[in-house]
Amino acid sequence: MIIVVSPDASPEDLDHIVARVEETGRQAHLSVGTERSIIGVIGPDDPSLQDTFEALPHVESVHRVTKPYKLVSRDFHPANTIVDVGLGVTVGGTELAVMAGPCSIENESHIFDAARAVKAAGANMLRGGAYKPRSSPYAFRGLGPEGLAYLAAAGKASGLPVITELMSVRDIDAVCRYSDVIQIGARNMQNFILLDEVGKAKKPVMLKRALAGQIEEWLLAAEYILAQGNPDVILCERGIRTFETAYRNTFDVNAIPLVKELSHLPIIADPSHGTGKVGLVTPVAMAGIAAGADGLMIEVHNDPEHALSDGAQSLTYERFGVMMRSVAGIAAAVERTLSGVRAPVAAR
The residue ranges that bind ligand PEP (CB under 6 A) are 103, 129, 133, 185-187, 208, 238, 273
- In order, the DSSP letters of 296-321 are EEEEB-SSGGG-SS-GGGPBPHHHHH
Alpha-helical runs (H) found in the chain: 11-23, 49-54, 108-120, 145-158, 172-178, 192-200, 215-227, 255-262, 271-275, 278-290, 317-333
| Nearest-CB residue for Mn ion | 103
* Helix (H), strand (E), coil (C) string for 123-185: CCEEECECCCCCCCCCCCCCCCHHHHHHHHHHHHHHCCCEEEECCCHHHHHHHHHHCCEEEEC
Tell me which of ligand PEP, Mn ion, none is bound by residue 277, counting a contact when its beta carbon lies within the kind-specific cut-off of 5 to 8 angstroms: none
Cβ pair 268, 236 in contact under 8 A: yes
Judged by the rule CB under 5 A, the positions of this chain that interact with Mn ion are: 103, 310
Cβ pair 153, 128 in contact under 8 A: no
Q: How far is the CB of 150 from ligand PEP (least distance, A)?
A: 16
Measured in residues, the chain has a length of 348
Residue 37 or 275: the one with the smaller Cβ distance to Mn ion is 275
Dihedral of alpha carbons 50, 53, 58, 64, sign? negative
Cβ pair 289, 334 in contact under 8 A: yes
Residue 140 or 317: the one with the smaller Cβ distance to Mn ion is 140
| Radius of gyration for the chain, computed over Cα atoms and rounded to the nearest angstrom | 21
Q: How far is the CB of 270 from Mn ion (least distance, A)?
A: 9
Residue 298 or 343: the one with the smaller Cβ distance to ligand PEP is 298
- Residue 76 in 3-state DSSP? coil
What is the rounded distance in angstroms from the CA atom of residue 4 to the CA atom of residue 71? 15
Tell me which of ligand PEP, Mn ion, none is bound by residue 186, counting a contact when its beta carbon lies within the kind-specific cut-off of 5 to 8 angstroms: ligand PEP
End-to-end CA, the chain: 46
Residue 103 or 182: the one with the smaller Cβ distance to Mn ion is 103
Residue 272 or 326: the one with the smaller Cβ distance to Mn ion is 272
Tell me which of ligand PEP, Mn ion, none is bound by residue 238, counting a contact when its beta carbon lies within the kind-specific cut-off of 5 to 8 angstroms: ligand PEP
Q: How far is the CB of 208 from Mn ion (least distance, A)?
A: 11
Question: Going by DSSP bridges, is the β-strand pair 233-237/267-269 parallel, antiparallel, or unpaired?
Answer: parallel
Tell me which of ligand PEP, Mn ion, none is bound by residue 67, counting a contact when its beta carbon lies within the kind-specific cut-off of 5 to 8 angstroms: none
Q: How far is the CB of 36 from ligand PEP (least distance, A)?
A: 37
Give 6's DSSP letter. Answer: P
Residue 73 or 313: the one with the smaller Cβ distance to Mn ion is 313
Residue 127 or 325: the one with the smaller Cβ distance to ligand PEP is 127
Tell me which of Mn ion, ligand PEP, none is bound by residue 29, counting a contact when its beta carbon lies within the kind-specific cut-off of 5 to 8 angstroms: none
Q: How far is the CB of 191 from ligand PEP (least distance, A)?
A: 12
| Nearest-CB residue for ligand PEP | 185
Angle in degrees, CA 218, 195, 171, rounded to 5: 135
Q: How far is the CB of 22 from ligand PEP (least distance, A)?
A: 39
Q: How far is the CB of 14 from ligand PEP (least distance, A)?
A: 40
Tell me which of Mn ion, ligand PEP, none is bound by residue 106, counting a contact when its beta carbon lies within the kind-specific cut-off of 5 to 8 angstroms: none
Tell me which of ligand PEP, Mn ion, none is bound by residue 70, counting a contact when its beta carbon lies within the kind-specific cut-off of 5 to 8 angstroms: none
